[in-house]
Structure 1
Amino acid sequence: MDHLLDGFIDGKHPNFSKLERQALKDLRENKSLTLKPTDKGGALVIMNQVDYVKEVNRQLNDTDTYSVSHVGEVIQLEKLIDTVISEALTQNIIDEDLYKYLKKEHAILPVFYVLPKIHKSLENPPGRPIVASTDSVLQPISVFLDRVLQPLVIKTQSFIWDSKNVLRRITELSFTGPIVLFTWDVTSLYTSIPNREGMTAIQDALLKHLFPEEHISFLMKLVEIVLHNNIFLFGDTVYKQCRGTTMGSNMAPAYANLYMDAFENQFIYPHQFFINFVHTWWRYIDDVFGIWTGTETDLTFLTQMNTVNAHIKFTMISNPLEINFLDLTLRVEGTHLVSDLFVKPTDRNSLLHYSSFHPESTLNSLPRSQFTRVIRNVSNPDIRDDRLQQMINKFSD
């Protein structure tokens, strides 16, 4: 059949040779191997299936986070959702359209998988846990909660949108005297948030923004449903997540952001070291960038923050000259910061080949977007020219 389709669609010819197509087919059919994209960097990892399953089981055997469940709990969950949203409809908290949206028909059971973090280890990469929640019974609720919570997230003190937001902000920064750049990373934030603490953070945020009491009650019931009923499948076994939220849940970023905002307000902002020495503190979900005006010795602040909550732990990198944050390298230049592209050593060239079967508009817009990114992210003209040439080389590969 393949040879009959060669060149049939829009006169396109496959950009795989017959030998390459056969190799790909063999890889797909080899049950002793697992193919997964990397967590970051655009690479494809070919793993022994035994090693992949071993890493999945290592995570799912954490009984503080996961427990074995059964399909019957999904049926109970559907009944619970119908009870809650029917009551909200009767009380005029939601309308008929929203009721129909939240009541998912013909839902599928989500599937658990992990993405290898080869930037952490090439030999035994830990996996980032993902629950593929598309078309699950919880997805409409999670999407709805995300739309409600995101406007609250952007009003939090440390919030940043993305690297473009960082670039805009560093143009407004200046400092005098010696400084230390630092980044903090929250270890496994999504699965580490205790449900009760997370729900308290959400409720406090809703109260702060003056949501009506009956709306808060309804929204908190939905949050509780999502957190307490994340049921999924791996292999032939059904599991339930007991703590935290999952990457793959639409509301997860907003939930994690509001939890971290509550953590910052309780423990970080009132701390004397923060008041005395933190010049800048920006956070993208679980990644923090900061400028420290004290000595590197004073950064024992991190050690103290790792003792205030049994579940939330940070790792830190600090440097007086430059630091990597998101997809940027930020460098000290006089009294200001300048920016450059940050590329992990494990990153691969994942740009679309021009012969790829994509719309022509997509293929033609890709160079513009990538060169624009280089020009935007690299502030030094000489370095920018080098990065542009490197990008040209990537397109030429």
Structure 2
Amino acid sequence: MIRHLEVSFITPTFYLLPKIHKNPRVPPGRPIVSGMGGLCDAVCKFIDFYLQPLVETLPSHVRDTSDVLRRLNGLTADEGILLVTLDVETLYTNICHEHGLRAVEYFLSMSNWAPPLQQLILELLEFILTHNVFTFGERFYLQRRGTAMGAACAPSYANLFLGYWEREVFGGGVPASSHAQCWLRFIDDIFVIWGGTTSELEGFVRHLNSNSFNIYLTFHVDPIKVDFLDINISLTDQRLVSTDIYRKPSSVNALLHASSGHPKFTINAIPTGQFIRLKRICSETGVFEDRANEMRDRFRARGYSTRSIKKAYKRARSTPRDQLLLRFNPNTTRCTEPKIRFVSSFNRQWEHIRGILSKHWPVLQTEPVLRNTLPDRPLMTARRGRSLRDMLVHSHYSRPNKLPFSTGRPLVGSFPCGSCIACRHGNIVRATSFTSSSGARTFDIRHYISCNSTGIIYYATCNCNLIYVGLTSRELKVRTREHVRDIIAAKQVKLEDVDTLKTIPRHFRVHHRSEVLR
């Protein structure tokens, strides 16, 4: 019988992603509030499930690069047109709650969903927008305007907000809007084919920036070529719209190295995927050949064999570009039936596990019930394992402890990190020594110990001056949280059954009930 169910949430963390492509020396930051595992995370995903179909109905919306290429394929431009890109400045943090909710309500009213469901979505969305609590350093904050960029429903919410604004631009008689012969938008990035003059474009943008939606746009215009997403869009001598791949000046050769510990099938698929991407984006054969030569050099620098590079190139060259532009490949069989998969974190034994499953799979298929459920062969999905980056880099910022480096003495003692749940709740304290329960002896801590330390002997104190000494081979913070959970769960145990409890929860159940463990 389950006596206690503890549900814990992670407080979202604020951090910045530096935009080094804009200013490598003093890069501006993209504000992110990581909401994964937070209180509103599941609700955000629920709302996004219903908002995404509404986004698909927007005339200007493009899903990705492939969608842009499909819209531009075979497009011919008139004489004197201008290529323009617009960018909405700091969109997510500038959306007023009132305008955003009004936009979502408008598009929900155009759907065929029941009114109670529409009302539920609006109320949940309002709750998310007004309860975006996050932490930075050692303080908690409430976002009062805009939406968190890390929320699952944020892109759909922002898309609908701009779609509602676009109704006024093209449906409300905005001056010179008829010159926009093509208007494609990927969230806050907009591509326009402009049929008017430069002065008319400048007046059009000024008028767009005079709005009540708190929207401000910057623009770049060129009669020959512009960059949009990862595409370089230009005009040929025949006035055809041509596309080429675009790499930012700050881009480096970040292809996964061939000697990486990733699954072999993942590494083998990277050259094929990259050459196929080149063939899809490059509208002219000569441009594709030039970019393919550059990509060959990048793959060789990352340790890929000539054979794998040549095989990937030949496959991309022989595939018709029109086929690559299709949203769904007609040669691919799409299976709608759910499949049972073996899911686990990737490790060195992955191929060995695959061999075991394949060897004994026929045994499972001899069972009458499983025969109709299991696929013909085992399907395996590898989760990404914990990397060195995951261990060294954390989005949560905490001020570093003042360490006695200037004294020249080795750092010894117990130190909380200040970022994990055990340290934030005060379960792990900073100390350089500890005293016995009788107070007769004091013991110095001779090593450096933190909440991430493993294979240590630890002690826990109680308000009644009793000390519990334990040993753990795991991280101290993991063992500490287990003690806390055991104490909370012990509150449901009757006093006559306390002998079934472990030492610490039994002591707190009998003597203290809900006292705090340190």
The TM-score normalised by the length of structure 2 is: 0.55
Which residue does the alignment assign to 2:12?
110
Alignment of 1:1-397 (within 5 A): 105-299=7-201, 300-309=203-212, 311-333=214-236, 334-397=238-301
> Following TM superposition, where does structure 1 have runs of at least 4 consecutive aligned residues deviating by more than 4 angstroms?
none
Question: Shift in Å at residue 271 of structure 1?
Answer: 3.4
Deviations 1:335-394 (A, max 9, x none): 320100111101121110011110001100000000111111112222211110111111
Larger Rg over CA atoms:
2
Residue 182 of structure 1: SS of its match in structure 2? Answer: strand
178-187 or 212-221, which deviates more: 212-221
Q: How far 1:267 sits from its partner (Å)?
A: 3.1
Residue 356 of structure 1 aligns to a residue whose secondary structure is: coil
Q: Is the 8 A contact 2:77 2:241 kept in 1?
A: no
What is the distance in 1 between the residues matched to 2:173 and 2:93? 26
Tell me the amino acid that sits aligned with residue 357 of structure 1: G
Secondary structure at the counterpart of residue 317 of structure 1: strand
Output the CA distance in 1 between the equivalents of 2:74 and 2:119.
Answer: 41
Q: Secondary structure of 2:185's partner?
A: strand
What percentage of residue pairs aligned between the two structures are identical?
Answer: 36
**Counterpart residue identity of residue 182, structure 2:** T
Q: Which amino acid aligns with 2:226?
A: I
Q: Contact 1:113/1:131 (CA < 8 Å) preserved in 2?
A: yes
Q: Which amino acid aligns with 2:103?
A: A
Unmatched segments (≥5 aa) in structure 2 = 1-5, 302-518
- TM-align CA RMSD: 1.6
What is the CA–CA distance in structure 2 between the aligned matches of 1:234 and 1:169, rounded to whole Å?
42
Cα shift at 1:297: 1.3
SS at match of 1:247: coil
2:74–2:241: 8 Å Cα contact kept in structure 1? no
- 5+ unaligned residues in a row in structure 1: which ranges? 1-103
The answer to which structure has the higher helix fraction is 1
* SS state at 1:209 partner: coil
In structure 2, relative to structure 1, the CA distance for the partners of 1:373 and 1:294 (3 Å cut) is same
CA distance 1:271–1:146, change in 2 (3 Å): same
Distance in 1 separating the partners of 2:74 and 2:129: 39
Cα distance change of structure 1 residues 318 and 285 upon mapping to structure 2, 3 Å threshold: same
Aligned to 1:24: none
Provide, for residues 103-146 of structure 1, a one-character-per-residue CA deviation record: whole Å limited to 9, x for no partner: x9311111111000111111211110111111111100000111
Higher relative contact order (CA 8 A, sep 6+): 1
Distance 2:33 2:49 in 1: 20
* d(CA) in 2 for partners of 1:394, 1:375: 17
Q: Is the 8 A contact 1:146 1:251 kept in 2?
A: yes
Quickly say closer, same or farther: Cα 1:170–1:311, change in 2 above 3 A: same
Counterpart Cα distance in 1 of 2:212 and 2:298: 45
2:123 alignment partner AA: K
For 2:224, give the aligned amino acid: L
Q: 1:289 to 1:195 in 2, by over 3 A?
A: same
